[in-house]
Structure 1
Amino acid sequence: MKKPVLLVVDDDPQVLSAIDRDLRSEFRRDYRVLRASSGAEALEILGELTTRAEPLALLLADQRMPGMEGVELLEKARGIFPDAKRVLLTAYADTEAAIRAINNAYLDYYLLKPWDPPQDLLYPTLHDLLAAWQAKYKPRFQGLRLIGFQWSPLSHELKDFLAGYMVAYQWLDFEATTEAETLLQSTGFTPADLPVVIFEDGSVLARPERAAVALKIGLAQKATAELYDVVVIGAGPAGMASAVYGASEGLKTLVIERGSPGGQAGSSSRIENYLGFPTGLSGAELAHRAWAQAVRLGAELLAPQEVTSLCVQDEYKVLTLADGSEVRTRAVVLATGVSYRTLNVPGEHHLSGAGVYYGAARTEARSCDQQDVYIVGGGNSAGQAAMYLATYARRVFILIRGESLAASMSAYLIEQIGQTENIEILSFAEVKEVCGQDHLEEVIITNNGQQERRPARALFVFIGAKPSTEWVQDIILCDKRGFMLTGRDLVSDPRFAAAWKRDREPYLLETCVPGIFAAGDTRVGAMARVASAVGEGSMAIKFVHEYLDE
């Protein structure tokens, strides 16, 4: 933690040096003493402290200074650091001005020159003031801070990105907190520049791309080697399992993730049926643990980075990345996972990220305090989100097309939902339209054939599974829904048999291109569970070994 600051201001160099010396002698153990020779210089220092999130405990200013008198400076400082103690240093002739300042500028105290000896005339007063300040002082958040608008899709995207990488950050809604406005002013940016990210080192980015934020928080986006044994595309449970086993078994392993680690599982607020975690854990926590484990074992990870094309050259696989660079590898594991399908109802595109969210229950839950929220979907992710949101929202409505959750949700979740008073299931229900000017205000739904218009703070969508395979369908054989065909599916059906060119049969998770494997939800016939994805990711490395040994 950074020490609280004591700032002294005086235009007389001798007086400034004397009080600086006395303050350091008595308070340097617990406070950092700064000094300024004018009111303008003091305001610059206050701005820098705000940007760096350093606390100001006390401001001691001389009254008679050219350009800006002490009382004026203390009044301006109150708007920047309202809780800091403010002391006026004055001569006897100015005591009347000091007394007026106590009433008009909320001055905490005034001290007369000279203050010798400080043990009697300076330290007792300052100790009392600082003790009072410490009693109310709450240390500021030390880390990344994000200033934005609650209903800004870009603000939501940054929040979701940071949460996905488990980066601790403080969210400051510009329209809801005076601290956000003061902090933004200290950066030199305006509300038109929001969202603004302030990093712990004091550097600032306005409306940043995710890649710029990733660079600042230490994520790599450039490959370091010319050739890899295996490149894993996607950092969901399947991809991270491949990375852990590949690296632990001595393969030169690279993982490329275009978003946040964890895939769909990463957005789950609580996973309670994964082996070895009896009390459950969040999807983001599971992904973060897997990421750390893969790195410890020697895997290299690039994120956020996207693979835009894949081709085969002389048995090597060449990946082209979004930034134009290329990566060469001997084998590939495609673990690109699936994404939630969009609602495709009127208003959805306009309000996406501004009240309509795909996943992201953990990111936006606190903003739903004592409001009504709606969830579309009946799978485990929807159920986990409902349980998490129920701790904040007034009521949570789960909309499902069928009669009950039994066909698509685990029994333990159904039981928990049934025991939660503020969760209500709406059967045979669909969203027909979402309404609002700059954010979601109402949802129009059909419920048992009846159309209703209801107020809504947020709508969370967890429907369907759209495979992220568009970019490889020119070389990888997929079914009509876009899921990749692997193993026996390639040779058992005459329609696909011609796509396999080797004398041997394809390995269980191998696609129509030898040496390119698919694992997890993106594969035909995959079971949409974390444990099965981890199993497939691990198995894929076994087949990579067999392929490389040919």
Structure 2
Amino acid sequence: MVEEPLSHKRPAKPVVLAIDDEPAVLGAVERDLRRRYREYRVMGAGGGAEALEALRRLKQRGVPVALLLADQRMPRMTGTEFLAQAMGLYPDARKVLLTAYADTEAAITSINRIGLDYYLMKPWDPPEQHLYPVLDDLLEEWAQSVPPPYEGIRVVGTLWSASSHQVRDFLARNRVPYRWLDLEHDPEALRLLSTLGGPSPRLPVVWFPDGSSLEAPAPRALAEKIGMQTQASQPFYDLVIVGGGPAGLGAAVYASSEGLRTLVVEKEALGGQAGTSSRIENYLGFPKGLSGVELARRAEAQARRFGTEILTPREVGRVRAEGSYRFLELDDGGELSCRAVLIATGATAQRLEAPGVERLTGAGVYYGAAVTEAALYRDREVFVVGGANSAGQGAIFLAGYARRVTMLVRAEALERGMSQYLVDQIRAQPNIEVCTRAVVAGVEGEEHLEAVVVRELDGGSSQTLPAAALFLFIGALPHTRMLAGLVELNAAGFVLTGPELLREGRRPRGWTLKRDPFLLETSVPGIFAAGDVRQGAVRRVASAVGEGGVTVGLVHQYLKTV
């Protein structure tokens, strides 16, 4: 088969595929088709098996097939048999059988059996009279009735799957467009899986524009496939920032713009916890608000423009200090070295300890994943747990999809932990119900969430309520495991910085410099902390960005002393 190279950089032409076992006849068919249909990609195959394999490859690449012309009298597989199998891959393609006079009965049978669109008797010279008018009508009909194909990444999986949720969440938070195909509801998902052959694949399966696929991919494998940077380009940097949230990105912009060789290492997706927010409305300079994803996109573009290097998704396992150098050990055993480090890892989601929650996480129970999952729960009952701004933003966003959103808040009033503008919006939203002094006592469901057990703190009574999804915004724990035994932490694991390290005027143990720790410096010189990972941080996006910028000034002062 002669096959032209496919490019995913431009829309692929719809395919017209001709199948005939006689090379001379096949060549004549292809010649006539190419002469007329330049807006289509004309392909030829010398038999049914060869043509089916070509269709599988086209399906994997997401290339549309508009028309199939198959000779009836082929060895091993007749044209009718081929078209019947081809419909499993491309049910909307128009079907034409090439026949001899004696094949008229087979053509009529095909009309009834496989919905044949037309049959043509060979030869059809001149094509302008006997071929093109028929195909013109069929192709025009196909173009008007079949929507343009999606040419990006496609994810096939099941809704009630933690691994499918993880892949969708990773792509969404990293702003990678994709199309979700639910195996239980979308026939196209089954057609794609059928192209793989062999045993049942591990879900989800991710298809790429070049036709390749990955089964149940880990974040790093997925990142490398879609072209994200996962390896540092240099062995040594002036500043390595661990964490790509507002504090880390804010520091990256200032550091790179001021000439520091800067690297950001982010273990999940840029934006941090703020990146999961559906709407940030009190950030300076954006009177209409913006989403956390949009804020991260703008900050990333700005940092890269100044020369910041960003690794995603990579995790730092341990930080150590040797003399005036700082070293970071990565999750694959690799190592980075630098002159200064900023820890801006923020905090990881606090897990809810209640019966059934761990088992159903990713299958109806989610931690701060409102943006990724909201559209899947249109016109259904969902719950939001939490009383801070992130919970309020999530509830308002979900209310645009769900029939009803029930908020469970431990405090006696929303005002105790939420900005007033969010409180006002929630009260004005008719499909949001707020239950104060209430907590989740457990969740129920076999393969996915079906109900939430709600317990009232005042009185202790419980009730089981039907629920399609439960979104948890219940606080976070500092991500400081990499610093264990290196810098001073408080009892909860948050990093102590600056004046908090001084006790009765004495500097922290092991401090060798003839100055006090800078404002955002840890108990190890040259290692700084900013944002939510730091004790006493004001948990606001603007504060985190500001601390990131302040840190860069302190890094400059530190570098003058070493």
Normalising by structure 1, we get a TM-score of 0.98
Deviation at 1:35, TM superposition (A): 0.6
Q: Deviations over 1:450-478 (max 9, x none)?
A: 31101111111001221101220311111
Task: Tell me what 1:269 maps to.
Answer: 278
How far apart, CA to CA, are the structure 2 residues paired with 1:195 and 1:434?
25
Task: Tell me what 1:400 maps to.
Answer: 409
Conserved in 2, the CA contact under 8 Å of 1:9 and 1:35? Answer: yes
Task: Tell me what 2:494 maps to.
Answer: 483
Q: 1:7 aligns with which of 17, 23, 39?
A: 17
Q: 1:502 aligns with which of 473, 498, 513?
A: 513
Q: Equivalent residues in 2 for 1:22-37 (5 A)?
A: 22-28=32-38, 30-37=39-46
Conserved in 1, the CA contact under 8 Å of 2:508 and 2:523? Answer: no
Task: Tell me what 1:16 maps to.
Answer: 26
The yes-or-no answer on 1:281 pairing with 2:290 is yes
Task: Tell me what 1:379 maps to.
Answer: 388
Conserved in 2, the CA contact under 8 Å of 1:184 and 1:190? Answer: no
Q: 1:61 aligns with which of 70, 78, 82?
A: 70
Q: Deviations over 1:415-457 (max 9, x none)?
A: 1111111111011110000111121111101135331101111
Q: 2:261 aligns with which of 244, 248, 252?
A: 252
How far apart, CA to CA, are the structure 2 residues paired with 1:545 and 1:9?
70
The yes-or-no answer on 1:227 pairing with 2:225 is no
SS of the aligned residue for 1:266 comes to helix
SS of the aligned residue for 1:521 comes to helix
How far apart, CA to CA, are the structure 2 residues paired with 1:110 and 1:154?
47
Conserved in 1, the CA contact under 8 Å of 2:532 and 2:538? Answer: yes
Task: Tell me what 2:551 maps to.
Answer: 540
Deviation at 1:350, TM superposition (A): 0.8
Question: Does the C-alpha gap of structure 1 residues 245 and 234 become closer, same or farther in structure 2, counting only changes over 3 Å?
Answer: same
Task: Tell me what 1:523 maps to.
Answer: 534
Conserved in 2, the CA contact under 8 Å of 1:358 and 1:461? Answer: yes
Task: Tell me what 1:184 maps to.
Answer: 193
Task: Tell me what 1:165 maps to.
Answer: 174
How far apart, CA to CA, are the structure 2 residues paired with 1:547 and 1:178?
61
Conserved in 1, the CA contact under 8 Å of 2:507 and 2:516? Answer: no
Q: Equivalent residues in 2 for 1:99-248 (5 A)?
A: 99-188=108-197, 190-248=199-257
Q: Number of residues paired by the alignment?
A: 549
How far apart, CA to CA, are the structure 2 residues paired with 1:189 and 1:464?
45
2:35 aligned partner, one-letter code: S
Question: Does the C-alpha gap of structure 1 residues 191 and 273 become closer, same or farther in structure 2, counting only changes over 3 Å?
Answer: farther
Task: Tell me what 1:454 maps to.
Answer: 465
Task: Tell me what 2:482 maps to.
Answer: 471
> Structure 1: which 5+ residue stretches go unaligned?
none
Percent pairwise identity: 53
Q: Deviations over 1:295-347 (max 9, x none)?
A: 12111111111111111112100111111111110001100101221110111
1:478 aligned partner, one-letter code: L
Q: Deviations over 1:486-536 (max 9, x none)?
A: 111111556974454422111111111111110001111111111110000
Task: Tell me what 1:339 maps to.
Answer: 348
SS of the aligned residue for 1:478 comes to coil
Q: 1:440 aligns with which of 449, 466, 478?
A: 449
Conserved in 2, the CA contact under 8 Å of 1:486 and 1:511? Answer: yes
1:402 aligned partner, one-letter code: A
Conserved in 1, the CA contact under 8 Å of 2:58 and 2:211? Answer: no
Q: Deviations over 1:25-69 (max 9, x none)?
A: 0001x1000010101111111101100000000001111110111
Deviation at 1:373, TM superposition (A): 0.6
SS of the aligned residue for 1:319 comes to strand
How far apart, CA to CA, are the structure 2 residues paired with 1:434 and 1:373?
13
How far apart, CA to CA, are the structure 2 residues paired with 1:493 and 1:345?
43
Task: Tell me what 2:6 maps to.
Answer: none
SS of the aligned residue for 1:219 comes to coil
How far apart, CA to CA, are the structure 1 residues paired with 2:151 and 2:201?
26
Q: Deviations over 1:201-227 (max 9, x none)?
A: 111111211111110111222222121
1:460 aligned partner, one-letter code: F
1:418 aligned partner, one-letter code: R
Task: Tell me what 1:84 maps to.
Answer: 93
SS of the aligned residue for 1:545 comes to helix
Query: What's the C-alpha RMSD, in Å, of the aligned pairs?
Result: 1.3
How far apart, CA to CA, are the structure 1 residues paired with 2:99 and 2:171?
49
Which has the higher mean CA deviation after the structures are superposed, 187-196 or 199-208? 187-196
Q: Deviations over 1:354-390 (max 9, x none)?
A: 1111111111111112111101001111111111111
How far apart, CA to CA, are the structure 1 residues paired with 2:498 and 2:31?
78
SS of the aligned residue for 2:534 comes to coil
Which has the higher mean CA deviation after the structures are superposed, 31-40 or 96-105? 96-105
How far apart, CA to CA, are the structure 2 residues paired with 1:511 and 1:104?
76
Question: Does the C-alpha gap of structure 1 residues 538 and 189 become closer, same or farther in structure 2, counting only changes over 3 Å?
Answer: farther
Conserved in 2, the CA contact under 8 Å of 1:490 and 1:499? Answer: no
Conserved in 2, the CA contact under 8 Å of 1:161 and 1:210? Answer: yes
How far apart, CA to CA, are the structure 2 residues paired with 1:444 and 1:277?
39
